[in-house]
Every structure is written in structure tokens, then in C-alpha cells.
Amino acid sequence: MNRENIVERRKKVVLGMSGGVDSSVAAILLKEQGYDVIGVFMKNWEEKDENGVCMAEEDYKDVIAVAEQLEIPYYSVNFVKEYWDKVFTYFLDEYKKGRTPNPDVMCNKEIKFRAFLDYAMKLGADYVATGHYARIIHEEKDGKIKSTMLRGIDDNKDQTYFLCQLSQEQLEKVLFPLGEYTKPQIREIAEKYNLVTAKKKTVQESALLENVILINFYPNTYQQRVEIL
């Protein structure tokens, strides 16, 4: 059964916007599908670049620019404490045990599709959406909707692995508008709309977090990695 047929009456979608090109175009696609879109920027980390500029503030400026251009309301929510408790602490504990964790998996499970989902429901959302490259099939059977996640069509950008711990309850409330597109197509759409994020590079969250931990807790290991690179 087609997704739009199942959720025809449900129109409000709260979109997680990172300030990158993917979530920016997700807003465009959702609007084109007729959804009432609200953009929300999640601040998960307190971090500055080498020039002392807060990266979250710079990303939020891009969110504001895109949201105002597309004429959608936008908010910012602070999940720094939740991220520290659920993701950073877990990441650090795993390192101490000699294991290599994946913070993206935990962040999606605990922050983007739990804390953020709860926040979105308080805004009256029927669904949340993100700029992940994945697809979902929603099938109705015996009055219940079963949600199955599928790989995105772009093999180079597929992110289903990072979403592998999402529950049925979470998936039922999620939209992934980019799943049917390739990254080059997303760039083309962004350029067509002349978005400020059209040429913005994608930054891997796990790489940033790993560097933060190594610099602050394992400086010798970080220096060895820099020398190797």
C-alpha cells in the first residue's frame, strides 16, 4: 500500500535539519509532497573549530537561511546533555574496553529517533524526517502498520546500517525523503533552488567525535594518527 494512502490525513512533519545539503533538500521534497514542514536544528555537542568558531552556531545559521528561503518555521533544541549521557559516555566506555564503537548508531537510536522524536510529538507532529539515505515500506495488515527499512538506491550513500537499531515504534513515525535519490541528484536540486548549502561538504559525525575523544583523553594516540595521515 502506498505510504501517502495510509497517512493521507497526517500532514505535519518535523524535519531534523543539520545545516547540510541533505536535510535542506529533504525540506524541499517534503513540501513538494504536500506536508506541513517544521525544521528543527539539534545541538548535540559543544565544540569549536581551530579558529574558535562554534560549529553548531555556523550550522544553525545555514538552517535559518534555508528555512527562511523555503518559508518554513524553524526551531533549535539543545540535546547536549542527552548526547553526553547516551552517546559520548558510551563511546568513551567502549574505547576503555578496547572496543571500537559506532556513535552514529547510538546517536540515531537515542537522540535523533528518541529524544528528537519525543520533542517532535510535543510540537504536534505526525512524523519526523531526516536527511538519511534510506527507504521505508509501510504495510497495513489487520489494522496495524508494519514498517520495513530498505537500503537507499544510492549504494555509495546508503545509511541503513547506522539506523539498524531503530524499533518498529520508531520507524512507524519516520519519513526518509532522500531514499529514492542519489547524492548527485540531491546536489542538483539544491543548486536548482540556489540553497546556501548546495556545495557544503558532508561531515561525518563519528569522525568528529572520535577526534574529540582522542585529543582530550588519548592525545598520544591522536598525534600518532596525525603523523600517519
DSSP 8-state class, residue 133: S
Check residue 225 and give its pLDDT. 37
What is the grid cell recorded at 106? Answer: 547510538
| Among 39, 41, 42, 40, CA closest to 71 | 39
Tens-level pLDDT at each residue, the chain (229 residues): 445 444 455 589 999 999 999 999 999 999 999 999 999 999 987 765 544 445 788 899 999 999 999 999 999 999 999 998 998 888 888 878 888 888 889 999 999 999 999 999 999 999 999 999 999 988 888 888 889 999 999 999 999 999 999 999 999 999 999 999 999 999 999 999 999 999 998 765 545 555 555 545 554 443 443 343 3
Q: Which domains does the chain have, with CATH numbers?
A: 3-228 (3.40.50.620)
Could you identify the residue written with the cell 512533519? 13
